Structure 1
């Protein structure tokens, strides 16, 4: 075997050393050549090929500097996006992984002298979010991909739609309380006075009459005395009932209704006159979502289709994912709001039972706009329909 053959230990050791990282001071970026020692680097700098590369660099140094800077930035940001995503990470961790590639662009050949300068520049240009701590510089990648932004908006929209009924009711009650407090501020303060009877002079008197000569002659236990006692008791009962009714009327007049009671009465009147609603809303063919864990964890937050309605308040639901049929009460499910342009069924109000098309959503007021597709008012657009009054129709 020759002394400097391919399989000699020295040749194998040299190839192993060439695969790994070498010292940065013995690397030539223009020639992209890594030398293993100082003597080899000195010989390379005196070579004709290196001198030609230096002449090219001297003609247009900004061109090569910008090229190397751009390559370094692309490689660094690609590693940050693919490896760490939007997590907060130390800058040295990313840099150490970046330089593991033997053919990477060295920072000494870019416009940035140190890693700190490069991190500060990234923060100023808006590539990442930078924060400095006692442990060093930390960066967080800012993902501006249009698909990612659209996906985030869609998730936020779904979260708003999937809010529980309790949260929506709490917000509604809070708004009503604020509205009531504003109305009470505008009113004058209530003055409390002493409870007085309107007709103090009118006293209830009973004229039982004096004993007549005929009655004096009657003995106890006779029929005349019994009749007299019955008349007295009847008169006393009538007087007591008159007093209690009069007192109740005065108490009702004196008691002032609270703002919340007035709002409730107004809402009830409005529902009875303008939009009469019923306390049951289940209908065959609509899509509902289970909102209770009593039926089992596997059905919680799952959707299904109403196949049959029983005694107005209960129905049979066929689950979409598992295909099983369960019996539910209307308190255990809620309506499902589809995307714009989909078919829905009106479950309550004057348009109850009509099919419609969903036109738009108002997530702040928890209502929608629909166009009726059936019924006597077909083609009419109805605004301000509450979420619980419509539900998606099964396809």
Structure 2
């Protein structure tokens, strides 16, 4: 098959397809050159043109690349996910979809793991999944990140939400105390009412004693009346007297 002529539409189409299929880790940020594969990238970094540019690259330029990479990374994280947690690898895949982004190989960081560890130490992100794991043993596949929003507006919003939660808690506590007092008052009133309807034991005994005394007095009275009647009854006269 004949090669497409240089500069033709077919040639440009093939170039665009090749760029889309090539891996971003084989991109040289300093030379702004995309290599087709690992062998091509190794050949490029040994080339005189690349070595010349590297020799001219100052510490200030590396720091500038590093700041730009970090700034773009955090900006996209804030816009797309806010303070929600996301896998570090998954988000990095989203970040590098922009072909014009600054590549990590132009910064001071040699891996994504070291980069997210740096951001976590700076307090710019939260690193999840790194608990009780030494830094050298961290696996980026197991790490998740979330943005830390320290802006004035966000801090004010969090403070307002915190105050609202405190007020709601205080109101609930007040309502609970009032309800408890009402319950205690009702129980006290019920006990007093029940106490008022009870017959005292002493009063009951006294009543029984008086009742017994009355019974005894009545019997004695009846007996005495019968005896009196018999005594007062006249005797019949005998015919022989």
What range describes the TM-score normalised by the shorter chain of this pair? 0.5 to 0.7
Q: Which has the larger radius of gyration?
A: 2
Deviations 1:92-111 (A, max 9, x none): 01111111111222212222
* 1:11–1:44 Cα change, 3 Å: farther
Q: Whole-Å Cα distance in 1 between the matches of residues 53 and 156 of structure 2?
A: 47
* 1:171–1:96 Cα change, 3 Å: farther
* Shift in Å, 1:86: 1.4
Deviations 1:258-277 (A, max 9, x none): xxxxxxxxxxxxxxxxxxxx
Equivalent pair of 1:21/1:100 in contact (CA under 8 Å): no
User: Using CA pairs below 8 Å that are at least 6 residues apart, which structure has the higher relative contact order?
Assistant: 2
Deviations 1:65-92 (A, max 9, x none): 2211111111111111111111111000
Bigger helix share = 2
* 1:176–1:73 Cα change, 3 Å: farther
**Alignment correspondent of 1:31:** 31
Q: Whole-Å Cα distance in 2 between the matches of residues 123 and 55 of structure 1?
A: 32
Deviations 1:211-267 (A, max 9, x none): 898xx99xxxxxxxxxxxxxxxxxxxxxxxxxxxxxxxxxxxxxxxxxxxxxxxxxx
User: Which residue of 69, 77, 90 corresponds with 1:80?
Assistant: 77
**Alignment correspondent of 1:148:** 154
Which 5+ residue runs of structure 1 have no aligned equivalent?
178-194, 218-395
Q: Whole-Å Cα distance in 2 between the matches of residues 26 and 150 of structure 1?
A: 44
Equivalent pair of 1:4/1:11 in contact (CA under 8 Å): no
Equivalent pair of 1:6/1:12 in contact (CA under 8 Å): no
* 1:90–1:70 Cα change, 3 Å: same
How many aligned residue pairs are there? 188
Which 5+ residue runs of structure 2 have no aligned equivalent?
131-138, 184-199, 230-241
Q: Whole-Å Cα distance in 1 between the matches of residues 98 and 86 of structure 2?
A: 20
Q: Whole-Å Cα distance in 1 between the matches of residues 168 and 44 of structure 2?
A: 70
Corresponding position: 1:119 with 2:116:
yes
Query: What is the TM-score of this pair, normalised by structure 1?
Result: 0.38
Corresponding position: 1:94 with 2:96:
no
Quote the RMSD (CA, aligned, Å): 4.4
Give SS of 2:22's match. Answer: coil
* 1:171–1:21 Cα change, 3 Å: farther
